[in-house]
Structure 1
Amino acid sequence: MQPITSGGDRAETGRGSILVPVLCGLVQMLDGYDLSTIGLAVPSLVKAWGLPPAAFTQTFALSSIGIMVGAMVAGPVADRFGRRPMLLVSVLLFGVFSLISAWAPSLPVLVALRFLTGVGIGGAMPTTIALTADYIPQRWRATVIMFMFCGNTMGGFIAGQVAAATIPVYSWHGIFVVGGVVPLVLLPLLFWLLPESRHFQAGAAVEPGNPVSGLFKGGLAATTLLLWLIFLLNLLDMYLISYWLPTVLTLEGLQPADAAYSASMYAAGGVISTIALGVLLTRFRAEWVLACNIALGVTCVAIVATQHLAGLPLYAVLFGAGGGMVGSQLGLNGFAAAAYPVALRSTGVGWALGVGRLGGIFGPILGGLLLSLGFSPLSIMLFVCGPGSVTFVSLLVLERVRRGLTQEGRLASA
């Protein structure tokens, strides 16, 4: 078995090393906004359509299935044909179908539209990560990708602010209109400014045969499987919280606009945590940093689930929960990109996100199931602590696996 090395993986330098992360971060901001819209719209849709909250479980699940399909298809396609075209198509998809969602006449139509929106959202995720990684030196790769991808979380924060401002005036329609119009307006700018990786401009070699099989060669098998488990569990927690938190807070007595604002604190914590994580990831092993951060998130979620908080205390604890859960996922995205060579980068990240999206599917379903079975709204938050604890342990196991491979000379340091 041959070692995995960084050969052929020299990062680009110059203007592209700044422009590409900025543009990809902008795409992720749009992506994160559209990702958050359905969860923020549900409290108003419940009142407008006279449906119980659990009826929207299928909307959450099909959105996540769309994201899974988009990520798992886009990764291998981008590794073979280039990052840029795949990214532009993804932005077009989630922009168009988010805009159409504003005029959905019924729940089945909304479910179909959110699936198609999800395909675009999922396609943008691995391609922005891989394209950014192609332009950043190895030492800074995980940190820069994390900062780039925090645009996704910032988009979720902005969505909460937009929802709080527009729902009282335009009900649920306005948040989807903004989520569709802005990406479509910015698409020509991306077409003009966004470069392709020179790995593809120069005709870089691609993984022969099925690119997914490369994720299990050269000492990568254990890393791949552990990353899939970690992504699955953390995204299960993230999506359960993201989709159901506004509804849970509404059921606990908050008005929809106030619940949306409170939920935005969770997204804000994910963004701000990148400042500390960015420093720590360049100085310590990523697995240890991310495990400790997950532990912080689990602790804060447990506080939300067991204490009836309101106002500033609620904002602060949700901020900490977002810093732990969302911030760790941002770091994991960068870690996954750094763990794979350039010929497998989009595929590796895409499949980690795609498998993780199974958690994104089951998380919202579990939330709806718990509500339909009569559990208290806050018990949904308490459920999150179980998968979060397993994620913590899995990161420690991953550290031991990768440390052993590095000492054997079979794996380049990520």
Structure 2
Amino acid sequence: MSSIPSPDSPSGSPPVVELAPLVEKQQGRRAWYRVFAVCCLITFLDGFDFQILSFTATYLRGDFSLSDTQLGTLGTVGLFGTLVGGLCMGYLGDRLGRKPSIVLCVAGFGIFMLGFAGAETYGHLMALRFISGFFLGGVLPLSWALAAEYAPKRARVTAISVIMVGYTLGGAAGGPISNLLVPGHGWQSVYIAGGVCSLLALVPVLYFLPESVKFLAQRGRPDADRRIAAILTRLWPGQPVAPGAHFVPGDPQPATTAGKFTPAKLFRGSLARITPLLWLVYLLSSALIYFMVFWTPLINERMGFSVSAAATIAAAASVAGAVAQLAISRFVDRKGVGSILWMPLMASLAMLTLGLGSPGPVLYICVIISAKMFINGGHGGITSIAGTFYPTSIRANGAAWASSVAKVGAMIGPWLGGVLLDAGLGTGGAFTAFAVCPVVMVVLLFAMGRAQKSLSPDTEGALFDGTAHATDPPAPQPAPTPAGPGAVLTGPQPDVTPAPQPQPREPQS
């Protein structure tokens, strides 16, 4: 491994530090949890700001005299904005950095959420929804990339699932908050609340969210070592970084991803099988979940529930989905992508029950919550793996392209739901038609699980078998020669650096 000359050691070389082993061997510190807490806050606001449209749709339809198809088109325009925003911000995330791109996104959707509250025509709603969607769509893949680069492989899917639970809970919060604010202050009040809270969230983002150290090391800018040292010192206070340390990512960086990014890199090497399957399953999942997100509150009303009760049912279904996301994530970390397929399998049965049966109010509530739980659980599992198969150099772009391609399905979902309802098929026909999505997803996830099992252990996205560190060589003691992997801090550091002896094998689940 190359090093740079340094007068701090007789050999003229500073210690060379691999960042990946540090991340893999972390045992948990408050600073790491703060990173994930801020990401969770960002995704909570993202989910609230985006999904609040479904809870205010009834009021918008009345004030602007909109048809179901116009409402569905409004939802589709916002999703088209997320598609464009995801691609643009993913590119910026791999060029400028994760943090500055996240700051831009949060500021953008905060400002344009406030603008949406002042819309006076349907054209205004369409334009503002597109622009706010641009920034809302950009922040998710950036958050996934940052979380993936600060989480060890053994818990990477779980870490991303946790921050995506923030998104789900943010969407669920739209129901109770709209019930609280809209009757007394109008539908505009929830958009003002979302915009103000988003702008206030810039404070913890700016002060507590670090840039990805792996990204800084991979880009290799002149001040990269200084910035990485400052971040690590802040994450591990009281344990100074070895003077003159030179940092490298330590993750495998395939030659197929070197150089300027092009979409073709997402289909090279092992990604040739993974990317198409990921895109297809994510597209179908998004079509299904955004149909449910957008139309469930209105369908609840058509089933005879009040506006307030309909919003509460939708919120409860979202909370159930968040629980399912967390439950499936640990299986995905240990058993792989194939373990997700049980969620869409159960979702298809629930959707067919809603479509082919005539459930009474109590049974309807139970089935709709179950359907949303399994749909959200499967979608959360798919979301959590979207960026894990791509190396650091193209991770933000990989996650962004997967997310943006999925938005094609997400745009079809609300629009097709409106068309089916306007065509007279009713809620039963709409649920039956969308039950096709989870059935196909089961087949795709099975194929994707087989492809993941064939990946070599050192490939991004390969299954973690608990033995990654069992054969690590002993870590060298601090010395005026290039240090081995993981040697970064001076002084005692038992919880973040390799032990002199091989670590015991983790138990298999």
TM-score (norm 2): 0.76
Question: Which deviates the most, 122-131 or 251-260?
Answer: 251-260
Q: Encode CA deviations 1:383-403: one digit per residue, 9 max, x unaligned.
A: 221111111111011122222
Code of the aligned partner of 1:24? C
Contact 1:262 1:314 in 2 (8 A): no
- Secondary structure of the residue aligned to 1:168 is helix
1:269 aligns with 2:320: yes
Q: Distance in 2 between matches of 1:411 and 1:248?
A: 42
Q: Encode CA deviations 1:14-35: one digit per residue, 9 max, x unaligned.
A: 4442111111011000000011
Question: 1:283 pairs with 334, 349, 356, which one?
Answer: 334
- Secondary structure of the residue aligned to 1:320 is helix
1:356 aligns with 2:406: yes
- Secondary structure of the residue aligned to 2:201 is helix
Q: Name the % identity.
A: 27
The residue correspondences of 1:9-408 to structure 2 (distance < 5 A) are 9-10=20-21, 12=23, 13=26, 14-204=29-219, 207-287=258-338, 289-309=339-359, 312-406=362-456
Distance 1:350 1:9, change over 3 A: farther
The alignment yields a C-alpha RMSD, in angstroms, of 2.1
- The alpha carbon displacement at 1:75 in A equals 1.4
Contact 1:164 1:258 in 2 (8 A): no
Q: Distance in 2 between matches of 1:90 and 1:244?
A: 27
Q: Distance in 2 between matches of 1:322 and 1:222?
A: 29
Q: Which residue matches 1:3?
A: none
1:413 aligns with 2:413: no
- Secondary structure of the residue aligned to 1:338 is coil
Code of the aligned partner of 1:331? G
Q: Encode CA deviations 1:94-125: one digit per residue, 9 max, x unaligned.
A: 11111111121111111111111111111101
Q: Distance in 2 between matches of 1:355 and 1:342?
A: 20
Could you list the runs of 5+ residues in structure 1 that have no partner in the other structure? 1-6
Code of the aligned partner of 2:120? P
- The alpha carbon displacement at 1:216 in A equals 1.2
Contact 2:116 2:125 in 1 (8 A): yes
Q: Distance in 1 between matches of 2:148 and 2:336?
A: 19
Contact 2:218 2:393 in 1 (8 A): no
TM-score (norm 1): 0.92
Q: Encode CA deviations 1:118-177: one digit per residue, 9 max, x unaligned.
A: 111111010000001110011110111111111000001111111122232233212211
Could you list the runs of 5+ residues in structure 2 that have no partner in the other structure? 1-17, 221-256, 464-509
Number of aligned residue pairs: give it. 406
Q: Distance in 1 between matches of 2:283 and 2:198?
A: 28
Q: Encode CA deviations 1:192-214: one digit per residue, 9 max, x unaligned.
A: 11110112333536841224222
Distance 1:311 1:165, change over 3 A: farther
Distance 1:91 1:100, change over 3 A: same
- The alpha carbon displacement at 1:8 in A equals 7.0
